[in-house]
A = this chain, B = another copy of it.
Amino acid sequence: MKAGLTRVLATGTFDLLHPGHLMYLEQSRALGDELVVIVARDANVKHKPRPIIPQDQRLLMVSALEMVDRAILGSESDMFSPIEELKPEIITLGYDQHFDAILLKEELATRGIDAQVVRLEGHDPCPLCSSRVIVAKVLEERCPKRDRSGAKD
């Protein structure tokens, strides 16, 4: 990274890409000069149903977006190690991401990472701006209704 340029880091699962992802990444990119994205590995998605799209495909799709300069998979064992390497000036959190910005900032400080943590607020209302809602629409249209009681969200 050239001196004086601001590297922004965004993170997420990015399953079934939708405009909510685009908005998060556009807002992130607008905060600096370069946007690097860490895409969560399948094994590390534990707080919601496992992704429909496998990690390598999710990485390919995020890499193809115009506002993304570079995307990489997260670390299998230590989510902070790629952040230590990338040395971003800014780390963005989406409005619905489950990290606590203050705890994250504290952990970064103990690692000597001096990054600003920015929680992005607001998002376009969009009927299918959520991977969960896209999955629900597939089930609504293609999974026979009377038999869907066992479907997870």
Which residue on B lies nearest to A141, using beta carbons? B52
Residues of the B chain whose Cβ atoms lie less than 8 Å from the Cβ of A139 = 138-139, 142-143
Contact residues, A33-78 vs B (CB, 8 A): 49, 52-54, 57, 60-61, 64-68
Contact residues, A135-153 vs B (CB, 8 A): 135, 137-139, 141-144, 146-152
Complex contact B65–A134 (CB within 8 A): no
Complex contact B151–A57 (CB within 8 A): no
Tell me whether A102 is interfacial, beta carbon within 8 Å: no
Given known A126-B57, A128-B57, contact A64–B142 (CB-CB < 8 A): no
Residues of the B chain whose Cβ atoms lie less than 8 Å from the Cβ of A146 = 147
6 contacts between A and B (CB under 8 A): A19-B61, A54-B127, A66-B66, A66-B68, A139-B142, A147-B148
